[in-house]
Each structure stands twice: as structure tokens, then as C-alpha cells.
Amino acid sequence: MNTICRMRDIYKALAGFETAFESAYGLSLNEAMVLCALDECGNEMTSTAIAERTEMGTSHTSKVIRSVEEKGLIKRALGTVDKRQMYFRLTPEGGKQLKEILLDKVEIPEILRPIVNSRHNV
């Protein structure tokens, strides 16, 4: 199978997974990735650091941050050293939501399983 057809199949599987994920958790994959990035950091992050961690563009990161902030899952605070800098952290509700995300509630498409399974073994 040629590369572009394989990529099409992967894209379709990922889109289907995201639809099921959003239905199960009320979050897009990008919103969940922001929560995950903040959790992995263990403290707080700037929007630039979140963009780097999630590999989303800065403009898109800003929109996703705004969305999860409106859902009450993260909060922002001014920097203590540089008052111009904005930092984001999980709220207790955001931490709770992140813990509730159990990937076994959403079936991983067959084509994505080798990728997901290889990441769990790392």
C-alpha cells in the first residue's frame, strides 16, 4: 500500500478515535493533551511551554487553553517575577478530569494499536 493511502487510513482512524474520545470525556484530544502536559510538568507552565510540549502552534494552543479554562479545568496566574508572564496550572477539577480519562473506555483503532502499545512499553 502506498504511503499516502496508509496515512489516509491512520488519519481516519485518529479522527474516529477523537470523536469517540470527545463523546466519552467531553474533551478534544488537544484539550486532553494540555491537561496531560500540565500534569507531567507537575507545577505550572506558560502557554509557550504548553505549545512546545504539545507541538501545537501558539495560536492554536491559545484557543485550546481558553477552552479548557472556560471548562474550569485550568486556571491562569500572573508570574511572580515577571508580572507580564501568564502561567497555567490544573485546577482540582482538571486533575480529577485527567484521572477519569481511562483510554480503555474508548476503543483504540486496530491501525493505531501498535503505536499506542509501543508508547506504553517505553
pLDDT at 22: 95
Other Cβ atoms less than 10 A from the Cβ of 50: the count is: 22
Write down the domain spans for the chain.
Answer: 28-102
Report how far residue 29's alpha carbon sits from residue 5's, in angstroms, rounded to the nearest whole number. 23
Per-residue pLDDT averaged across 66-90, rounded?
92
Q: At what angle do helices 58-70 and 29-41 cross, to 10 degrees?
A: 90
Closest alpha carbon to 12 in 114, 116, 82, 109: 109
Give the tens place of pLDDT for each residue, 92-119: 999 999 998 876 788 899 999 988 887 5
Q: Tell me the pTM.
A: 0.86
For the domain bounded by 28-102, which CATH number is listed? 1.10.10.10
Give the tens place of pLDDT for each residue, 45-55: 999 999 999 99
Enter the C-alpha cell of residue 84. 507580564
For residues 76 and 69, is the Cβ–Cβ distance under 8 A? Answer: yes
pLDDT at 91: 96
